[in-house]
Amino acid sequence: MSAAEGRPRCRWGGGGGGGEAVLRARAEAAGYRRLLRARAAEVEALRGAVGALHRQLEGLRDRRSGELAKYQVR
């Protein structure tokens, strides 16, 4: 505690300006959380796109194997 002020001293910034540093750190952390949520949404969207492409590829493989069997019979 600061004897002159009669209140605890802030660890960040040494006194009166510490609250601003805390607010800036919180705002920065909130920005990173927003960025993380945006990237997580992008990852999920890309996973969905990859799954759709895999299903499309399997359909093409099935169709081609059927055509190949038909040509082999001829």
Domains of the chain: total? 1
The Cα 23–Cα 29 span in angstroms is 10
Question: Is 11 inside any structural domain?
Answer: no
Full residue range of the structural domain in which residue 48 is found: 18-73
Residue 17: predicted pLDDT: 59
Residues of the chain above pLDDT 70, percent: 77
Question: Is 67 inside any structural domain?
Answer: yes
Q: Which two tokens stand for residue 12?
A: 């960040």
Contact (CB, 8 A) for 31 and 24:
no
Residues of the chain above pLDDT 90, percent: 62
Question: Is 26 inside any structural domain?
Answer: yes
Statement: residue 7 has pLDDT above 70:
no
Q: Whole-prediction pTM value?
A: 0.58
Range with lowest mean pLDDT among 12-21, 27-36, 45-54: 12-21
Question: Is 3 inside any structural domain?
Answer: no
| Averaged pLDDT for residues 29-33 | 97
Residue 18: predicted pLDDT: 77
